[in-house]
Structure 1
């Protein structure tokens, strides 16, 4: 957090980030955008995620292949591995808890469910912008379980699926 102001200043004044972590992300993001532009519809496949950006890096994958196995952005991971189709699917997965909540009964817990699902979807979208929220089992499973708890268990017992008292 202490280096963040300098990273932003470097990015906007120099166009290049000197700080190591920011520099690696800048390289990955630029190479990922170029790779996406060359396979925009269906991408390269999950197994080719890192090799697909190699032609767009100064030294190929030599600088970080053994350390990094994803692009530090869910959007880029989905876009490069599955193209626009993957981005649409990613958007649907992010929106699913909110849509599920909106189609749930309007009981006394509806507002809490709605706030919870909006927070969950927003958090995964924001945190996934600069790191990995989907793609590893733990993060993905946590998202699904939290959505299931919010939508399936946080509701009144005496309300049917159509919102009518039973």
Structure 2
């Protein structure tokens, strides 16, 4: 069997459709930061846990360590611009972005499908990433909104209209 390249593996992984999230956190001086993450996954309902991964050497890692809170935004299908905006490091990331402060003090972008306020309960090493496991401590869902999906290096929407079955 011929070994595969990392590029081939990346293309293979891209066949798995995933939702798109932005995670926001405050630094030690209470400045807001955000990052686009597609590695979000549910873990448990009884003890409400989620997981997501972040590069080991990310600038955000110190602010999502054990006991820290962060806000996960599930992006709406028209929010591709937010996904792209938060993929790169910027000074004053929230300038020009419609947002408000959540009750927790975290920065919340507007009009997302769902919001999960979380507290990091453990961090595991996974290759060149850290896997953050977090407890959901508050949530808001907007079921009337449709999520943004990412697959095969493209942003997609879903059609949630019901079809009749025979």
TM-score (norm 1): 0.21
Larger Rg: 1 or 2? Answer: 1
Q: Which has the bigger relative contact order, CA under 8 A and spacing at least 6? A: 2
Q: If each structure's helix is expressed as a fraction of its own residues, which one has the higher value? A: 1
Q: If each structure's strand is expressed as a fraction of its own residues, which one has the higher value? A: 2
